[in-house]
Amino acid sequence: MQDWLRMTAGDLGRAIAAGAIDPEALCDTYLAAIAVHPLRDRIYSMVTEGRARAEAAAASARAKAGQRLGPLDGVPISWKDLFDSAGVATEAGSALLKGRVPARDAEVLRNATAAGLVCLGKTHMSELAFSGLGLNPVTATPPCVNDAAAVPGGSSSGAATSVAFGLAACGIGSDTGGSVRIPAAWNDLVGLKTTSGRVSLDGVVPLCAKFDTVGPLARSVEDAALMLAALEGGKPADLRGAVLKGRKFAALTTVVLDDLRPEPGAAYAAAVARLRAAGAIVEEIEAPEVAQAMPLSPALFTGEAYGLWREAIEAAPEKMFAPILERFRSGREIGAADYVAAWRRLDELRAAWRRRVAGYDAMLMPSAPILPPDADRLMNDAAYYVTENLLALRNTRVGNLMGLCAVTLPTGTPSCGIMLCGLPMQEERLLRVAAATEAALIRGR
């Protein structure tokens, strides 16, 4: 049964369909593992044992009757603590929202439940989702699976570690500037950032509504595809027969290779070499529009974030982790004219990007230019915190600024991922390319 804790969600679903795994026994196995795990309270903010057992019992009855709701019916997963769940505290990692208990599930949680997924509980996160590090002294900081002294990446920190430590088959997170992809990369998982506007944000605590997205942190590309379908109530991408031979990739050199640390740099180069060995065409490209978009980030992100949270923050600023408070408050200096002008300029730059990459199957870059930073040093060295936080999200933010879908894949080097970006609303096409890339990377290890 311990092997169940390391199986992909897709494999668990197939085993349930074949009668080899009973959903109730699977749920019991996960709940027991969570209960005795020494890191449980640093990963889960809330374990919804009653709901999980009830959903698993219903899944078991459907499986026995041959009436399963979908390929993941009966599979247990975790949810980041910004997805509303009826009658259960949803506090987004912040004391500002302590005691907030929504009356109904978020739409994506309702969709997943309708597909038969079993909700294990809610996971810790960066405060109000406004950091890529995963450091949160207000609630809890989960550890990185590869380094107990390091942060796990954020803001979907607990979502990643719940999967990496074998305490959920998949985790559901959100990504505004990299918050799915950074913790996925640093914990050797697959992380899918969906296109803004594709997956419902109804019942999701916002950070920057125009950039917020929902996506899975998973053990495989197939799991990411299956979970995307469950979140939407749709049909999963067909990954059969995906190959790399003849695929054309644009390897971005602008911005994303600056200040690249040795380990991520070597891992990225080795991964690109494996793609070429598998028959892919990889061309390096410069994209000045990416460099021009980066300085727009303060107006676009912090301006909106502070606008959304100003009233709650200024009513009780002492409840917040100081670096997060400072980052929100930097949005006070963003005027309406600055915000409107930044969006106008970004729309122009997005159009230039689309023209530049129109002939490619996907764009490549290192998922993060750094390894997971040391948690204690982040708490005690303000300059280190600022530097590492900005670098952590720099590469992933390209996808958010350009309005893309994106996926990070493990390279085989601990805490080093390679990111593939696709055009807006082209998740199915990107997932097929990612599945072929994943196969090449695994074979090359």
Q: Which residues are catalytic?
A: 80, 155, 179
Cβ neighbours for 330, distance < 8 A, ≥ 6 positions apart? 298, 302, 306
Assign 421 to helix, strand or coil.
Answer: strand
Residue 220 is classified by DSSP as S
| Tokens found for residue 326 | 């400072």
3-state SS string for 70-100: CCCCCCEEEEECCECECCECCCCCCHHHCCC
- Strand spans (E) along 82-201: 118-123, 171-175, 190-193
Sheet order of strands, 76-80 included: 44-47, 118-123, 76-80, 171-175, 213-218, 190-193, 405-410, 417-422, 362-366, 248-252, 281-285
CB contact at 8 A, 250 and 285: yes
H or E stretch including 308? helix 303-315
The neighbour count for residue 301, using CB atoms within 10 Å, is: 26
Backbone angles phi, psi at 288, to 5 degrees: -55, -30
